[in-house]
Amino acid sequence: MSSALFGGIEAGGTKFVCVVGSGPDDLGAMERFPTETPEATLPRVIDFFRRQQAEHGELAAIGIGSFGPVDVNPRSPTFGYITSTPKVGWPNTNFLGQLQSAFYMPMGFDTDVNTAALGEWRWGAAQGLDTFLYLTIGTGIGGGGMVNGRLMHGLIHPEVGHMLLRRDPQADPFAGACPYHGDCLEGLASGPALERRWGKRAEGLPADHPAWDLEAQYLALGLVNLIVTISPQRIVLGGGVMQQPQLLPKVRSRVQALLNGYVQSPQITESIDDYIVAPQLGSRAGVLGAIALARQAAGEVL
């Protein structure tokens, strides 16, 4: 490992991953455990970094990419909190504060998806860009990324999964799985939505199943709306559902068809394979992004 060591936490709704290192070439010890209540989970996080420090010496900083919704506004009194999540035990949890009580060092805090986006920007598929999006299509659908060279924050932070899309009830009578909106993007195209519509899990649907054309249609509708608003230089699509290799090419051609020549950029009309891409860091995007967040928190100018 290099001399300066950083801690990274990928805090997902299902599992936590903690790691120590400085980048993709020296990721050291990594520990995974299920996301239980904060009282059960956060002490394991703290214990992991205590052990790492005992073995390797002081960390320079810790980065946290968290499931949400989270408060990512540094000027807010609840900065670093998980706020209104439906996940039992976690609403109004001062995630960052509990870490700060245990360790006196700089810490970075952002959404899980922005953090993965930062990883892809630093070491993966979004290097050199200043405006790009990273979407994860899995248990939920989340989005993050950068605009003007900085991670997207605003009133809150991007959700993306709750975009309201068109659905043809004759072609797709499934009314959607989102408890808030029914047939929003997440309600139509997340892993659980696929499973409820077709009666089996995504990985059990054959590559030529009509599920994949419909899935590509909904994802493409979401991407088109992002393209004509944020105008990203590239879109990275990760998450479990995107593991199906037949899906990404279908999404690309649906995006072109739906835009119908309106956005006259060669990246879209000629090089879409390089415009809508898979993550380069794969499942390590989250923890590597957390390391990159830590490096920023430690004062590194990227």
Which positions touch a second copy (CB under 8 A)? 69, 83-84, 131, 143, 147-150, 152-167, 180-181, 221, 224-233, 258-265, 267-268
Nearer to a second copy, 35 or 85 (CB): 85
* Cβ at position 96, least distance to a second copy in Å: 19
Nearer to a second copy, 3 or 260 (CB): 260
Bridge partners (DSSP) listed for residue 178? 182
* Cβ at position 41, least distance to a second copy in Å: 23
Tell me the C-alpha distance between 249 and 284, whole Å: 23
* Cβ at position 235, least distance to a second copy in Å: 10
* Cβ at position 112, least distance to a second copy in Å: 16
Nearer to a second copy, 10 or 186 (CB): 186
State the CB neighbour count (10 A cutoff) for residue 236.
27
Nearer to a second copy, 3 or 170 (CB): 170
* Cα-based distances in Å from 30 to 9, 45, 152, 191: 10, 11, 28, 26
Q: Residue 284: CB partners within 8 Å, gap ≥ 6?
A: 24, 27, 119
Q: Helical H runs in the chain?
A: 38-56, 95-102, 112-123, 185-189, 191-198, 210-227, 247-259, 266-269, 285-297
Nearer to a second copy, 161 or 191 (CB): 161
* Cβ at position 151, least distance to a second copy in Å: 8
Residue ranges with strand state E in 67-117 = 107-111
